[in-house]
Structure 1
Amino acid sequence: MMSDDYLVECKIDDDEDDDDDEERLHQTPPPPAQFSSSTDPFLSQPETRDPYDINQHLKIDFSDVLAEPPSTHSADRVWIYSSIGFESVRIWSYRCISALCALPLSLLSGCLFAWLACLHIWCVMPCVQVCHSCLPCIRSLWLSVVNIFIAPFCLSVSRCCSFIYISLSKE
């Protein structure tokens, strides 16, 4: 069965004239925000700053944190002002904290990733290339050790454990 994530909503309006449909077919849609041209690159930022939904767990709403059951309700104005207060404090606290921490942490993480890239390019990969090209004897010896001792051991353990069955039941 297909999940609802793959379904696409199609709006069909049969009341319009056919001439409008032909005009719409020949028009090109506007480009997405990340591909639109602008003189200032900082003004034409894409709408989403989390395109891969890395921080999906941080999308918190007032009703996710506070909720009143049907049996107990506060006054409507109290609920509305609480919601406004919660959202305002959440947004402005995040803005203030990010204003204080964003620049130093971005500089620190930029330095960290630059350091890792430098180590990988200038230290790790040359050592790997030396091992691959200049030391084939050690490489073949290591492969022999792995194939003689480690692979049979792992195969034996996997065969011993392959007959273990776990059944879960609710009682």
Structure 2
Amino acid sequence: MDDKVDLMNRDPNNINQHVQSNFEDVLAEPDGTRSADCVWIYSAKCFNGGKSCCYIFLSALCGIFLGLFWGCGFAMISFEQIWCATPMYRCFSIYAIYVQKCVGTYLSCYLGPLCETCGLCFSRIRIDKSG
């Protein structure tokens, strides 16, 4: 197991691109509707500073515990898939082959000849529409 963590690229698989929340992605003033330049500049600084401080605080407060929680959660999912679901599916597949053979034998031995006999009996019926 590789315990090294890439501190530069923390989303190498781009799984959280939908959470982009830069100032320009959230707030925008269209042409003809503009605040004073100082308001726009300080709003951007407050947005970025507040977002950074809040994220750092929340991740420091909860990140380790949530990392443990999600690690245990995915471990339980892996355990369930490896030790329960996959063997149960394999067992079901084995029994399904047996049931398929039994049903196939029943259909070909009993229902097949019955349907063939009915087909032969009803094939001699003629309907005259002329009358």
Aligned residue number for residue 131 of structure 1: 92
- Counterpart amino acid of residue 50 in structure 2: V
The 5-angstrom pairing of residues 89-128 of structure 1 reads 89-128=50-89
CA distance in 1, matches of 2:58, 2:68: 16
Percent identity reads: 39
CA distance in 1, matches of 2:103, 2:9: 49
72-81 or 128-137, which moves further after superposition?
128-137
Query: TM-score of the superposition, structure 1-length normalised?
Result: 0.50
In structure 2, the CA distance between the partners of 1:59 and 1:130, relative to structure 1 (3 Å rule), is same
Higher relative contact order (CA 8 A, sep 6+): 2
Q: Superposition RMSD on alpha carbons, in Å? A: 2.8
- Counterpart amino acid of residue 73 in structure 1: R
Contact 1:131 1:139 in 2 (8 A): no
CA distance in 2, matches of 1:86, 1:51: 26
In structure 2, the CA distance between the partners of 1:113 and 1:125, relative to structure 1 (3 Å rule), is same
The 5-angstrom pairing of residues 33-48 of structure 1 reads 41=4, 45=6, 47-48=8-9
Query: TM-score of the superposition, structure 2-length normalised?
Result: 0.63
CA displacement at 1:73 relative to structure 2: 2.8
In structure 2, the CA distance between the partners of 1:142 and 1:115, relative to structure 1 (3 Å rule), is farther
In structure 2, the CA distance between the partners of 1:62 and 1:141, relative to structure 1 (3 Å rule), is farther
Aligned residue pairs: how many? 103
Contact 1:62 1:87 in 2 (8 A): yes
| 2:27 aligns with one of 55, 66, 69 | 66
Matched, 1:85 2:46: yes
CA displacement at 1:41 relative to structure 2: 4.0
What stretches of structure 1 of length at least 5 have no aligned partner?
1-39, 145-171
Contact 1:62 1:86 in 2 (8 A): yes
